[in-house]
Amino acid sequence: MSSLLESIEKEAKRRSYAAMIRCLPSYQGQVEEALDEFHHGSHSFYRANDEYAPHWQGESRGAYELVYWDLRQIETRIYATADDLLHEISREIAQIRRKIEERQ
């Protein structure tokens, strides 16, 4: 009886892990999609910057430069955070796969 119970528990955990593995790549895809959308938005900003900003002078130029450099710093942090998050998701998927293999 206990071996049947252990077998059922093992199968339940294996299925639970399999469900997690199905969800994590979806989450990974959502992160990549958000990153892509951010990239398109910042690319549009930089394109507009190249067209219009070189002609600005004085106070407006100075204020604009602050916004420009803030965006650059935010962009760097977003890409670093996204890389960390994607790495952690991949690591979690690998860890769950190992757990599934141990349960078989």
Render pLDDT for 83-93 as a digit per residue (tens, 0 to 9).
999 999 999 99
pLDDT at 95: 92
* R_g (Cα) of the chain, nearest Å: 24
Instruction: Write down the pTM of the prediction.
Output: 0.74
pLDDT at 19: 85
Give the residue, 49 or 39, on which the prediction is more confident.
39
Long-range contacts of 75-79 (CB under 8 A, 24+ apart): 75/38, 75/42, 78/35, 78/38, 79/35
Dist CA 18 CA 81 (whole Å): 26
Residue with tokens 């690998």, as numbered in its chain: 94
**Contact status, residue 96 vs residue 20, Cβ threshold 8 Å:** yes
Render pLDDT for 12-23 as a digit per residue (tens, 0 to 9).
888 888 888 888
When pLDDT is averaged across residues 65-79 and rounded to a whole number, the result is 93
